[in-house]
Amino acid sequence: MATRRAAVAMMAMGFSTLVSVVGFSGSAAALDYPTRPVRFVVGYPAGGATDILARLIGQRLSERTGQQFVVENKPGAGNNIGTESVVNAEPDGYTVLLVNPANYINATLYAKLSFNFLRDIAPVAAFNRTANVMTVAKDVPAKTVPEFIAYVKANPGKINMASSGNGTSVHLSGEMFMMMTGAKMQHIPYRGAAPAITDMLGGQVQVIFDNMPSIIQHIRAGSLRALAVTTAARSELLPDVPVLADSVPGYEASALFGMGAPKKTPPEIIAKLNSEINAVLAEPATKAKLIELGGDPLTGTPEAFGKMIAAETEKWEKVVKAAGVKVE
């Protein structure tokens, strides 16, 4: 009997040692991470503002870690193809996602998705928030947001609101404005911001809530007029332009960007990525570039980014439902 008890005790000690070794080897792997190139998936074509942001962060991560963060463009289905590829990837830290506004919006916008973003993607780190700019054509007489609201209400059915496409953050920023002010406009979706801005310049459409990077050159040139920025605070790039919430209390619409990973990615690897990203965001050169792209850098924990994602998803769910927008 004593011999049997001794054998059981030895087995228990062996199992305990094995668990310790496995736990240690997992932590050691995280300390060594990354040991090979990392795929950084972007759900849009190369060359756009989202892609530029990924390449900026990816390049610095490559330089800091000694392993390439390779941006892989997987456009299609409003960003869903790229997201789905990361959801289904091995959760080993070698496939990550550029998280962007489409992820929060699509959760409600698409009737059928093969994944649940909040459930299936682990937050790693926030990058930045960029403002949209409420911008009007030069021939619109309104010089302020209250004047514009009055102008729309005095001309029912005559004011056209452009967007870069159905269900985009540009579109839904405008829908939120209509929902909160009762100023109803005709939505005119385009295939991207460039053709929408072309028609703005030609006077075919009167207003757009466009992303800062694609509209700011036209505002600075005086060919279009900014009425307000959509963030909670003024932008350093347009310091004289008020925030929309000054005229429409509670209004806030911004593009929140960051990095996500497959849900079961080890927490040690997520912590390592978070630490490296926060270090990159603290660099003066990176901060200056992010401000140039339209938003201040955000540093914080994965948990803080997760709370931001949940809040954005809830906010856009209300707007999508109020606007009655749906993609099958």
Report the DSSP pairing between strands 224-229 and 254-262: unpaired
Position 19 in a domain: no
Asked whether residue 10 is domain-assigned, the answer is no
How many separate helices (H) and strands (E) can be counted in the chain?
12, 9
In a domain, 314, yes or no: yes
Q: How many domains does the chain have?
A: 2
Residue 247's pLDDT band (cuts 50, 70, 90) = very high
Q: Do residue 121 and residue 260 come from a single domain? A: yes
Give the residue from 228, 246, 264 where a domain finishes. 246
- Answer left, alpha or beta for residue 203, where phi above 0 means left and psi between -120 and 50 means alpha: left
Q: Residue 175's pLDDT band (boundaries 50, 70, 90)?
A: very high
Between 3 and 159, the more confident residue is 159
Of 246, 270, 300, the residue that ends a domain is 246
| Residue 104 or residue 31, greater confidence | 104
How much is the average pLDDT of 212-231?
A: 95
Q: What is the CATH classification number for the domain harbouring 284?
A: 3.40.190.150
Mean pLDDT of 138-154: 98
* Rounded average pLDDT over 304-321: 97
Inter-residue contact 231 to 243 (CB < 8 Å): yes
Per-residue confidence (pLDDT) for residue 17, from 0 to 100: 45
Higher pLDDT, 227 or 48: 227
**Predicted TM-score of the model (pTM):** 0.87
Residues 165 and 305 in one domain: no
Looking at the structure, do residues 146 and 119 belong to the same domain, yes or no? no
Mean per-residue pLDDT, 280-298: 92
Q: What is the pLDDT of residues 82-92, one digit of tens each?
A: 999 999 999 99
Based on the fold, state whether residues 70 and 153 are members of the same structural domain: no
Compute CA distances 311 → 82, 122, 126, 296, 304, whole Å: 22, 15, 13, 19, 11
What's the whole-number mean pLDDT along residues 215-239? Answer: 95
124 and 261 both lie in a single domain: yes
In a domain, 29, yes or no: no
Instruction: Classify residue 102: in a domain, yes or no.
Output: yes
Looking at the fold, whether 56 and 125 belong to one and the same domain comes out as yes
Nearest Cα to 215, choosing from 176, 255, 250, 256?
A: 255
Kindly report the backbone phi and psi dihedral angles of residue 122, in degrees, each rounded to the nearest multiple of 5, phi listed first.
-85, 130
Q: Is the pLDDT of residue 206 over 90?
A: yes
Give the distance from CA 34 to its chain's centroid.
24
Over pLDDT 90: what percentage of the chain?
83
> In this model, does residue 294 exceed pLDDT 80?
yes
Among 291, 276, 106, which residue's Cα sits nearest to residue 216?
291
Mean pLDDT of the chain: 91
Sign of the alpha-carbon dihedral angle for 55, 57, 58, 60:
positive
Give the mean pLDDT of 1-15. 46
Kindly state whether residues 123 and 190 are assigned to the same domain: no
Asked if residue 125 lies in contact with residue 278, where contact means CB atoms within 8 angstroms, the answer is yes
Mean pLDDT value of segment 295-316 = 96
Tell me the average pLDDT across 134-160. Answer: 97
Whether 228 shows a pLDDT value over 90: the answer reads yes
Q: Are 231 and 244 in contact (CB under 8 A)?
A: no
Instruction: Write the pLDDT tens digit of every residue in 13-58.
Output: 444 444 444 444 445 556 799 999 999 999 999 988 899 999 999 9
Picking from 217, 246, 275, the residue at the C-terminal end of a domain is 246
Which residues sit opposite 183 in a β-bridge? none
- Using the structure block, give the residue that is written with the tokens 């919006």: 105
Residue 11 clears pLDDT 80, i.e. is over it: no
Domain, as residue range, for 190 = 131-246
**Domain assignment present for 230:** yes
In a domain, 269, yes or no: yes
Q: Is residue 23 part of a domain?
A: no
Q: Which range among 9-13, 195-199, 213-217, 274-278 shows the weakest confidence by mean pLDDT?
A: 9-13
Q: Higher confidence at residue 48 or residue 305?
A: 305
